[in-house]
Amino acid sequence: MGECSMPDESRLPVLIGVGQLRNNPERTHDAAREPLELAEEAARRAVKDAGVDALLNSVDTITAVKTSSWAYDDLPSLLAGRLGISPTRTSTTTVGGHWPAAILDAAAAEIAAGASRAALLVGAEAQASVSALLKAGVDPGRDHGWTTAPGGPPAFDPDDLGSPAMQAAGLIMPTRVYPLFENRLRHALGQRPEEATAWSARLYAAFSEVASGNPAAWTPTPRTAEEIATVGPGNRMVCEPYPLAMNAMPHVDQAVAVLVTSVALAREHGVDEDRLVYVWGGAGASDSPDVLSRPDFARSAALESVLRRCLDRGGLDATELDVLDVYSCFPVVPKLVIRQLGLADDVVPTVTGGHSSFGGPLSSYSLHAVVSVVERLREGATVGLVHANGGYLTDQHAVLLGRGPHADGYVGEPEPVSTATREDVPALREPSDDAAEPAVVETATVEYGRDGTPSQAFLVARAQDGARLCGQTRPGDTASARVLSLASGSEVVGRRVRISRAGPDQGFLSVDTAD
């Protein structure tokens, strides 16, 4: 960072207040509160954290991360009414875990451009309570008074599941898609399946230790690597190689809010200097939303772009980061970040506690990570990075926060760039109609039923002509599932197989070992 004069304080963005909470961990009916109410409490906690109530009246922007557990036509305006303020701009994101870092970067950019003085960013989910109420036959709106006009139960859009090709291949849920990246990455790194699982378990055990000290964590109980890796009645296999303990926990009630202002406005209102954390800025990128059109399941071009550009904008090397919080819906995401940053495999890239232990409040997790990083910086750290991931490693954003200002003021690049490419992407086609077709497994995963037995396999393979063959086996076709399973302890990626259609017009595949 070069020598230069101090930037204009009226255009120097800072975080001045943060607030978060956990609600109703016992999942009782009486304690169930709707996301709007939780967002209000988080916002009031953020104001209290800043120490200046009057500053709330200066908020001109409220941005909400999309709430998935309950639908609101305009949560920010409803929240503004509860807080008694009149912002000139309100907006809500779409679904996506990258949004917390992206909206923080955007709010900072608006302040740096002189287009905003203060912004309130919020996220809130109540899926644990929604599930408990519905299971008991209680309607949250009719019986519990939750907002229904405007608002109500969330709508479902099939297009959010994935491209037509992904839907045809059964790749419609994160639990099925992320294992494809994990298994391909393991193969690319030359790791045996048990080695990769041990690394995942160590990561998540360390995350659970961090979560145990976070008062907003949904599951603040430390777990050992052995507990996380061992499949059993309380930790069933979901999709290989991830047992339940390596999956995000979205059934939580959590809310979070942060206040972003200019330094000048903070000082005008008498905010204590020890509250200020500077938003240096970040970078965003988006890959193709169709994972079957990406060239390599062992990497994420968007993730690599974001981390590289974010550090470049800050003039930093990864070794200069005092604090790091990485998205962790599944272990492959922190593994990719660790590799991209050149860090040791035993690093613990969270100060929040991770999606499995802290909780995975759908799109708003990384706003909780911002809270944790702010707290660490206030305690004496110098600079931190928050990484956020959306979709299927599709949308990425990272942002740098500092205890002091960057010499050049705000240095972010909030508008995402596209890393989608057709270069080196294999053609996608259907398997042959005539006979079993030889192919090599590019990546695969096997989904298990709740009874602990293999239920269905999902496959991406390369045919002899170089084309990519994708599909799903018929549910209950245990013979095909065993061919693609890691249960034997041997590697499946790179395995030679024969693929055929499982009957006419059924859309399913049968898989057998090659001769």
pLDDT on residue 465: 93
**Summary mean pLDDT of the chain:** 94
**CA–CA distance from 190 to each of 128, 186, 196, 298, 494 (Å)?**
39, 6, 10, 12, 12
Angle made by CA atoms 96, 37, 395, in degrees to the nearest 5: 5
Please give the backbone phi and psi of residue 168, each rounded to the nearest 5 degrees, phi first. -65, -30
**Residue of 391, 402, 405, 473 lying closest to 172 (CA atoms):** 391
How is 148-173 classified by DSSP, letter by letter? -TT-BSPP--GGGG--HHHHHTT--S
C-alpha to C-alpha distances, 232 to 78, 247, 411, nearest whole angstrom: 45, 15, 49
Q: How far apart are the C-alpha atoms of 121 and 370, rounded to whole Å?
A: 11
- What is the distance in angstroms between the CA of the first residue and the CA of the last residue of the chain? 61
From the list 493, 441, 468, 447, the residue with the least C-alpha distance to 186 is: 493
d(CA 459, CA 442): 8
For residue 303, the SS3 value is: helix
Q: 311-366 pLDDT, tens per residue?
A: 999 999 999 999 999 999 999 999 999 999 999 999 999 999 999 999 999 999 99
Cα–Cα distance measured from residue 427 to residue 466, given in angstroms and rounded to the nearest whole number = 8
Distance of CA 174 to the CA centre of its chain: 11
Residue 430 is predicted with a pLDDT of 84
Long-range contacts of 89-94 (CB under 8 A, 24+ apart): 89/60, 89/61, 89/62, 89/116, 90/61, 90/62, 90/63, 90/64, 91/62, 91/63, 91/64, 92/63, 92/64, 92/65, 92/66, 93/63, 93/64, 93/65, 93/66, 93/363, 94/66
> Computed from CA positions of residues 190, 304, 251, 142, in that sequence, does the dihedral angle turn out positive or negative?
negative
Question: Tell me, what's the pLDDT at 1?
Answer: 45
pTM of the model: 0.95
C-alpha 127/C-alpha 30 separation (Å) is 15
Cα 507 from Cα 433, distance rounded (Å) = 12
Among candidates 23, 178, 200, 127, which has minimal Cα distance to 362? 127
- Spatial distance between the Cα atoms of 130 and 127, rounded to a whole number of angstroms: 5
Task: Give one word for 482, left, alpha or beta, with left for phi > 0 and alpha for psi -120 to 50.
Answer: alpha
- Cβ-based neighbour number of residue 490 at 10 Å: 10
| 376-418 pLDDT per residue, tens | 999 999 999 999 999 999 999 999 999 999 999 999 999 999 9
Return the residue matching tokens 């996220």.
123
Confidence (pLDDT) at 2: 45
- How many Cβ atoms sit within 10 Å of the Cβ of residue 167? 13
Q: Closest Cα to residue 156, out of 115, 102, 95, 80?
A: 95
Q: What are the pLDDT digits (tens) for 480-493? A: 999 999 987 889 99
Give the whole-number percent of the chain exceeding pLDDT 70: 96
Q: How far apart are CA 477 and CA 251, in angstroms?
A: 30
State whether the Cα torsion 339-341-346-351 is positive or negative.
Answer: negative
Give the C-alpha separation, 170 to 239, whole Å.
13
Domains annotated on the chain, with CATH: 9-147+250-418 (3.40.47.10), 428-513 (2.40.50.840)
Give every residue of the chain whose pLDDT is below 50, as ranges.
1-3
